[in-house]
């Protein structure tokens, strides 16, 4: 199976490294030529939960170098999804499947619109990975990866992908209700990511202070109300208890949005809290806390240039 991982971030490098270590034919596709060249030369280095090791991975910024792919794993930031799908079109054959392991809501729809719904498999991964430098990651913790199609079907190719990921060292399962999983992860991200990015606090600290704990609870309550109106069944009965449990279980972690802010990078807030704000407007549900969090993160992003002066 020829596999192309798109995006050399923390999750992209993690999956590319495991697949390459298992002697699969793996390519890492990047939009940055210089970064791709460095990864192609030096490979990917890991430390942490899976030990310390290094593996060579073929990396390029030119899809023409790769040819047709059997599986494409999308690991780019959500705001790059539309451009990425245009970039990978030369890789598509009639049999190519596209697996998205991205944050937020809306990526499946964007990919389906451009590449065809029949190709798309949605995924949620709880693997913890932090990007230290180009091609260097810290595997912070192990977790399940769950995949599924939006229509609930289980095509033969998806079962083959599950078997492949299990074979190379991930714990992968299939779900007939992947939408519930995507929304359940969204609820957690709604509570943690923007608030941590604004306060610069690690996950666990968010529930130690009364002010941040109250804001977290309000944001999660608003998001859960939206999910209920849309008749989406979450995988946990008590969203507030779940998000607080995640804060406790990942107490030392810096959320991906906080990492973006510290690096003065664009965040995925539009695909997380922004989703709740847009749906709130559509459904006539007031979501002031998520609007507040969205506005503050967007302000932080806008201030990057000034703070660099």
pLDDT tens readout for residues 13-43: 999 999 999 988 999 999 999 999 999 999 9
Do 188 and 172 belong to one domain?
A: no
Q: Which of 58, 136, 185, 291 is catalytic?
A: 185
Dihedral (Cα; 169, 173, 178, 180), 10-degree rounding: -100
For 178, counting Cβ atoms within 10 Å of its Cβ (0-12 exposed, 13-18 middle, 19+ buried), the class is buried
> Can you tell me the distance from the alpha carbon of 176 to that of 292, in angstroms, rounded to the nearest whole number?
35
Decide which of 159, 176, 193 is a domain's last residue: 176
Q: What is the pLDDT of residue 308?
A: 54
Distance CA 91, CA 89 (A): 5
For residues 130 and 55, the model is more confident at: 55
- Per-residue DSSP letter, 51: -
Tally the domains of the chain.
Answer: 2
CATH of the domain at 100: 3.40.50.720
The set of residues, in sequence order, having a beta carbon less than 8 Å from that of 94 and lying 6+ positions away, is none
pLDDT beyond 80 at 307: no
What is the structure's pLDDT at 248? 92
> What pLDDT, in 10s, does the model give residues 255-279?
999 989 999 999 999 999 999 999 9
Note the pLDDT of residue 188.
95
Question: What is the enclosing helix (H) or strand (E) of 87?
Answer: helix 81-88
Q: Check pLDDT > 90 for residue 50.
A: no
* Sheet with 136-141: strands ordered across: 53-55, 44-48, 136-141, 128-133
73 pLDDT exceeds 80?
Answer: yes
Q: How confident is the model at residue 227 (pLDDT cuts 50, 70, 90)?
A: very high
The reply to whether 85 and 138 lie within a common domain is yes
> Distance between CA atoms of 14 and 149, rounded to whole angstroms?
23
Closest CA to 111 of 69, 149, 155, 68: 149
Average pLDDT, rounded, for the chain: 94
Same domain? 111 vs 135: yes
- Sign of the CA dihedral running 213, 216, 221, 224: negative
Identify the domain boundary among 132, 157, 176. Answer: 176
Helices (H), 149-285: 156-168, 178-199, 210-229, 239-249, 256-262, 273-283
Q: Which residue has the higher pLDDT, 244 or 143?
A: 244
Q: What is the pLDDT of residues 184-221, one digit of tens each?
A: 999 999 999 999 999 999 999 999 999 999 999 999 99
- For position 192, what pLDDT does the model report? 96
CA pair distance 150, 176, nearest whole angstrom? 8
Same domain? For 220 and 170 the reply is no
Give CA–CA dist 137/130, Å, rounded: 5
242 is catalytic: no
Question: What pLDDT digit, counting tens, does each position of 132-160 carry?
Answer: 999 999 997 888 999 999 988 888 999 99
Q: Which two tokens stand for residue 152?
A: 């609930």
Do residues 112 and 228 share a domain?
no
By the 8 A CB rule, do 277 and 294 touch?
A: yes
305 to 269, 295, 308: CA distances (angstroms) = 19, 17, 5
pLDDT at residue 249, as a whole number: 86
The 10s digit of each residue's pLDDT in 77-131 is 999 999 999 999 999 999 999 999 999 999 999 999 999 999 999 999 988 888 8
- Does residue 32 share a domain with residue 97? yes
pTM score of the predicted model: 0.92
For residues 45 and 164, state if they share a domain: yes
Is 170 found in the same domain as 194?
Answer: no
Same domain membership, residue 87 and residue 201: no
Which of 119, 152, 176 finishes a domain? 176
- Round to whole Å and give the CA distance between 258 and 272: 14
CATH of the domain at 244: 1.10.1040.10
- 101 with 152, same domain: the answer is yes
CB-based contacts of 249, cutoff 8 Å, min separation 6? none
Which residues make Cβ contacts (< 8 Å) with residue 21, sequence separation at least 6? 53, 55, 168, 169
Tokens of 104: 């937020």
145 in the same domain as 275: no
Same domain, 153 and 275: no
In this predicted model, which residue has the larger pLDDT, 178 or 50? 178
Parent domain of 159: 2-176
């Amino acid at each position: 199976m020829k596999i192309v991982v798109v995006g050399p971030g923390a999750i992209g490098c993690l999956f590319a490294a495991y697949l390459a270590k298992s002697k699969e034919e793996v390519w890492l596709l990047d939009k940055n030529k210089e970064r791709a060249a460095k990864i192609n030369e030096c490979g990917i280095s890991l430390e942490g939960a899976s030990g310390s090791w290094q593996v060579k991975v073929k990396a390029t910024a030119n899809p023409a170098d790769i040819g047709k792919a059997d599986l494409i794993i999308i690991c780019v930031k959500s705001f790059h999804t539309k451009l990425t799908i245009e970039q990978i079109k030369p890789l598509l054959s009639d049999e190519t499947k596209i697996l998205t392991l991205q944050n937020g809501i809306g990526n499946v729809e964007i990919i389906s619109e451009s590449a065809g719904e029949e190709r798309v498999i949605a995924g949620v991964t709880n693997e913890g990975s932090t990007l230290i430098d180009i091609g260097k990651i810290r595997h912070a913790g192990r977790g399940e990866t769950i995949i599924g199609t939006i229509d609930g079907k289980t095509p033969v190719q998806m079962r083959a992908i599950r078997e492949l990921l299990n074979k190379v060292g991930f714990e992968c399962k299939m779900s007939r209700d992947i939408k519930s999983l995507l929304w359940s992860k969204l609820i957690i991200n709604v509570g943690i990511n923007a608030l941590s990015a604004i306060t610069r606090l690690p996950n666990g600290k968010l529930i130690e202070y009364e002010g941040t704990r109250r804001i977290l609870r309000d944001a999660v309550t608003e998001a859960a109300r939206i999910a209920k109106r849309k008749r989406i069944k979450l995988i946990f009965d008590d969203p507030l208890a779940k998000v607080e449990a995640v804060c406790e279980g990942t107490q030392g972690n810096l959320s991906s949005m906080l990492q973006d802010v510290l690096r003065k990078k664009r965040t995925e807030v539009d695909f997380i809290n922004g989703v709740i704000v847009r749906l709130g407007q559509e459904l006539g549900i007031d979501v002031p806390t998520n609007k507040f969090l969205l506005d503050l993160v967007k302000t932080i992003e806008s201030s990057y240039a000034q703070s660099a002066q």
